[in-house]
Amino acid sequence: MAYDNKVALITGANKGLGLEIARQLGKQGVTVVLSARDAAKGEPAVAILKSEGIDAHFVKLEVTEEADVDALPGYFGEKFGRLDILVNNAGVERDRGGITREGFRETYETNVIAPYFVTQALLPLLKAAPAGRIVNHSSILGSLTVIGAPDQVAAEWLGAAYSSSKAALNMLTVIQMRQLAGTNVKVNAAHPGWVKTDLGGDGAQLEVTDGAKTAVELALLPEDGPTGGYFHGGETLPW
Ligand SMILES: NC(=O)c1ccc[n+]([C@@H]2O[C@H](COP(=O)([O-])OP(=O)(O)OC[C@H]3O[C@@H](n4cnc5c(N)ncnc54)[C@H](OP(=O)(O)O)[C@@H]3O)[C@@H](O)[C@H]2O)c1
């Protein structure tokens, strides 16, 4: 049975911004598939959204695990017959306290290589959707312009692995835009703001409800919306 609703996959959706993006998309009538690497964390998150009246589902996805990624097209094809929105949200920051080679590799595996291959696996479904949308959850800390301006970012925010991974994700966004020219699929990079999550910390400025808004807006862009951009709250950010 083909779904009438738009269907969205949000990676790393068991908590933080991913869970809130799923909630806000669900409240707008999108069927949301929350993915998490651990079913024991993902299933309860789905249950919370269901209790709020949202059509929510769970799929296990360790984004760095090839077998999990390879299984995605079959899951969406068989269960929904479609995928309209992909939010590459799962991410890690391993610089604090000093970056190790292992931490650097984990950062790149999770923040760069994984979103690329998750997207590649799902492109046929996204291209078949009437208005395919890809959101890469980036960060202002991936901006070469901002990181290069000493008056804009304090030295304690300079994370070699995290910032360079988000800069790479920004480049992937532009490459994907070029590759998707002439299709119905739009791809954009989102900076959520500095948000109170496990990653952002308690000192952050924004609550998740506000932090999720940029990604949600880009996931629901109309046909005349932008592609290949880098945004926060409707404003274009410098690469
Ligand atoms: N919070 C901020 O201020 C801020 C600012 C700019 C950008 N961002 C970006 O926003 C995104 C979400 O961050 P957040 O603040 O919500 O962080 P968070 O609360 O730490 O959540 C991160 C999510 O990613 C998942 N994840 C990490 N590695 C994974 C893997 N290998 N496979 C599957 N899932 C994985 C985590 O799962 P587990 O629970 O299993 O670890 C968790 O669900 C990230 O890409 C982050 O870089 C956040």
Q: Which CATH architecture has domain 7-236?
A: 3-Layer(aba) Sandwich (3.40)
The pLDDT score that the predictor gives to residue 92 is 98
Pocket test for ligand 1, best of 197, 207, 216 (most atoms within 8 A of CB): 197
* Atom number of ligand 1 nearest to Cα 20: 16
185: Cα within 13 Å, side-chain hemisphere: 28
The neighbour count for residue 102, using CB atoms within 10 Å, is: 9
In this structure, the chain runs to a length of: 239
- For this structure, is 3 an active site residue? no
Asked whether 32 and 26 are in contact (CB, 8 A), the reply is: yes
The pLDDT tens digits of the residues spanning 153-209 come to 887 889 999 999 999 999 999 999 999 999 999 999 999 999 999 999 999 999 999
> 122 alpha carbon to ligand 1 midpoint, in Å?
20
Q: Could you tell me the two tokens for 199?
A: 């990653």
Alpha-carbon span 74 to 26, nearest angstrom: 22
* pTM of the predicted structure, to 2 decimals: 0.98
Which residue has the CA at smallest separation from atom 42 of ligand 1? 12
The parts of the chain modelled with pLDDT lower than 70 are: 1-2
In angstroms, what is the span from residue 228 Cα to ligand 1's centroid? 22
- The alpha carbon of 153 and the centre of ligand 1 are apart by a number of angstroms equal to 21
Under 8 Å between Cβ of 83 and 122: yes
- Strand order, beta sheet including 56-60: 56-60, 31-36, 7-10, 85-88, 133-137, 186-190, 230-232, 235-236
